[in-house]
Amino acid sequence: MSWSLKKKSQALLAAEQGTIRKDWGGKISVALVYPNTYAVGMSNLGFQTIYRHLNAIPDVVCERVFVPDTEDAYEMRRSATPPFSLESRRPLPDFHLVGFSVTYEGDYINVLRLLAMAGIPLRAAARRAHDPLVLMGGVCAFSNPEPIAPFMDFVAVGEGEELVVELIAAYREGYRDREAFLTLLTTLDGIYVPERYDAAYGADGTLAAVAARDGAPEVVVKRRLRNVNAFETVAAVKTPHAEYGHMALLEVGKGCGRGCRFCLEGQVYRPVRHRSVEALRETVARMAANGERRVGLVGACVSDYPWLGELLKIIEENGLELSISSLRADSLTEDLVTALARGGHRTLTMAPEAGTERLRWAVRKPISDAQLMTACDLVRSHVIPNLKTYFMIGQPTETSEDVEAIVDLAGRMLERLRVLDASGRPFGRLTLSISSFVPKPWTPFQWAPFDGAESLQAKLEIIKRGVRRFSNVRVLHENPREAALQALLARGDRRVGDFLELAASYDGDWRRALREWEGDPAFYTTRHRSTSERMPWDHFDVGVKKAGLIREWERAQAEGAVAVGAR
């Protein structure tokens, strides 16, 4: 290992609080890998939670691995250094288990890049007896793991707090060889062993069947926590090099009851489970006792927490400042905004998602323009200088009027925010963060076609041109071509694995891989799908009923058709 790589890893560790270091002697070693940079990975509460739970098992040593920055990747290639863990700088192949925590489909390519850099065969079928077992968890593991399934020995489907304990127990008691262990894993609820499932395709290229064999269950059922109070979800390690490194993160519950038709998280984390006020009270008190100054509340919809008012009082009583990443305009309260302003919040964030009430209702995000204006009044009255808003383009039933209305809505919000407060200070900045709609599994919009990169780019230009007349409006957006990649990976089947392997061989150059891949991206992205078509993820059960999704999909189309026809 080169001195520069060693020095950088030492500097990262030196800046951390809460790092867990354990002796390797006689222990099961787990490399917990976040397939993105250190800054991104250490901002992920799920990744940190599993790190803490694994290290709580006495005979397990769990260490973290991340994708190297560009300059570090060059140095690793130059010095022939494989990816290594942060805590002990052990190379990836030294571990018994290599577990990837995958939150974003775009990181699939990084998974394969890391395996290739480590000299671990990419495909599970090609691995040797001395290679580590490779697994995957995270949201993508129970959304649609099929594009990356050929590269996984097994997949942990669902919430992992309980599952990791059972997995380690199975390894401890039953590991003799790879095949015997995988056979044992097929008996565990929430474990998917891809090689025990055979896919068949029809003449039209659609998926015809997925057949389980060798004792594997026909349907893999997602694991979910019944008692969220039994598992505290907080950050294990604090670092100034993470996005939220200046605060203590605390999850208030799992799931969201709103049912937005585009939202994966609102579907797959059902039923909604809130942590009790008493459980959160204990956690907040401990954070304060440990010297924390700010607490960041995390959840699919924090402002919907039923006892939020009481929780705010607990946070204030413990002398902590409050931070929340995003709020719903229809659940903002005076007390909540007051607490955020007292905590020094300079920006309040909310997600209208669409420029018109018509489209908001069609995607089942029923927030009125009046509620958005009331939210602007709260921001202005509490002297919070900046407002950030999230919009999504390319949603089903969207029209050109809906796109143009984003500019109009921005102008009306800005006028509301510009009113000088009592101190005479003007409003700071309104930010429009524009994302591209990507149809996700397990949502009513899983059958909807992706809009296409060119169409999305044209809509972005309409918005950017429209807001130029506003002096303090900023537009942030992703590249629509990256959204197209996400659409391919979100709804792809195992054949997309060939594209991933090609992209990894080009060191992540997925644009080149798409040009050379023999598959047809449009088949997975912009093609219309029938509700009778078998989806690549239909051999999973995540607690979402397909009949309910179809009903919501048909309602959305009917509502959109009526609205468009009325024009």
Q: How far is CA 565 from the centre of its chain?
A: 36
The pLDDT value given to residue 498: 98
Tokens for 380? Answer: 């202005």
Please check whether residue 148 is in contact with residue 497, taking contact to mean a CB–CB distance below 8 angstroms. yes
Q: Kindly state whether residues 117 and 182 are assigned to the same domain.
A: yes
Distances (CA, A) of 554 to 75, 114, 257: 53, 42, 20
Q: Poorest-confidence range of 66-70, 321-325, 530-534?
A: 321-325
Assigned domain for 326 exists: yes
Q: Kindly state whether residues 153 and 254 are assigned to the same domain.
A: no
d(CA 69, CA 204): 42
Assigned domain for 475 exists: yes
The band of 425, judged by pLDDT with boundaries at 50, 70 and 90, is: low
Widest distance between CA atoms in the chain: 73
21-56 pLDDT per residue, tens: 999 999 999 999 999 999 999 999 999 999 999 999
Distances (CA, A) of 69 to 37, 76, 84, 110, 527: 6, 10, 13, 12, 36
Q: Kindly state whether residues 27 and 90 are assigned to the same domain.
A: yes
Q: Kindly state whether residues 181 and 304 are assigned to the same domain.
A: no
Q: Kindly state whether residues 183 and 85 are assigned to the same domain.
A: yes
Phi, then psi, of 331 in degrees rounded to 5: -125, 15
Transcribe 468-524 into DSSP letters. Answer: GG-TTEEEEE--HHHHHHHHHHHH--GGGHHHHHHHHHTTT-HHHHHHH-SS-HHHH
Three-state secondary structure call for residue 431: strand
Look at residues 273, 338, 282, 336 and name the one whose alpha carbon lies nearest to residue 314. Answer: 282
Assigned domain for 452 exists: yes
DSSP 80: T
Answer yes or no: is pLDDT of 513 > 70: yes
Q: Poorest-confidence range of 315-329, 354-368, 404-418?
A: 315-329
Look at residues 144, 134, 113, 242 and name the one whose alpha carbon lies nearest to residue 182. Answer: 134
Answer yes or no: is pLDDT of 175 > 50: yes
Q: Kindly state whether residues 251 and 198 are assigned to the same domain.
A: no
445-500 pLDDT per residue, tens: 999 999 999 999 999 999 999 999 998 899 999 999 999 999 999 999 999 999 99
| Number of structural domains the chain divides into | 2
CATH code where residue 188 lies:
3.40.50.2300
Task: Compare 222 and 560 and report the one with higher pLDDT.
Answer: 222
Phi, then psi, of 84 in degrees rounded to 5: -135, 160
Answer yes or no: is pLDDT of 85 > 80: yes
Q: Kindly state whether residues 251 and 197 are assigned to the same domain.
A: no
Distances (CA, A) of 49 to 439, 551, 557: 28, 36, 40
The whole-model pTM stands at: 0.94
Task: Compare 1 and 461 and report the one with higher pLDDT.
Answer: 461
Q: Which strand (E) or helix (H) includes residue 311?
A: helix 308-317
The pLDDT value given to residue 567: 38
241-293 pLDDT per residue, tens: 998 788 899 999 998 888 899 999 889 888 889 999 999 999 999 999 999 99
The band of 194, judged by pLDDT with boundaries at 50, 70 and 90, is: very high
Assigned domain for 507 exists: no
Q: Kindly state whether residues 200 and 251 are assigned to the same domain.
A: no
State what percent of residues in the chain have pLDDT above 70. Answer: 97
Q: Kindly state whether residues 199 and 252 are assigned to the same domain.
A: no
Question: pLDDT averaged over the chain?
Answer: 93
Assigned domain for 167 exists: yes
Q: Which strand (E) or helix (H) includes residue 327?
A: none
State what percent of residues in the chain have pLDDT above 90. Answer: 79
The pLDDT value given to residue 423: 60
d(CA 488, CA 320): 43
Q: Kindly state whether residues 358 and 434 are assigned to the same domain.
A: yes
Centre a 10 Å sphere on the Cβ of residue 435 and count the other Cβ atoms it contains. 18
Q: Which contacts (CB < 8 Å, 24+ apart) does range 453-457 have?
A: 453/480, 453/481, 453/483, 453/484, 454/480, 455/394, 456/393, 456/394, 456/480, 456/483
- Mean pLDDT of all residues in 506-511: 96
The band of 101, judged by pLDDT with boundaries at 50, 70 and 90, is: very high
Strands 473-477 and 429-436: parallel
CATH code where residue 434 lies:
3.80.30.20
- Mean pLDDT of all residues in 124-139: 96
Q: Which residues constitute the domain of residue 164?
A: 21-204
Assigned domain for 222 exists: no
Of 176, 204, 232, the residue that ends a domain is 204
Assigned domain for 315 exists: yes
Task: Compare 563 and 236 and report the one with higher pLDDT.
Answer: 236
Of 172, 204, 236, the residue that ends a domain is 204
The band of 543, judged by pLDDT with boundaries at 50, 70 and 90, is: very high
Q: Kindly state whether residues 323 and 469 are assigned to the same domain.
A: yes
Assigned domain for 399 exists: yes
Please check whether residue 79 is in contact with residue 1, taking contact to mean a CB–CB distance below 8 angstroms. yes
Q: Kindly state whether residues 179 and 59 are assigned to the same domain.
A: yes
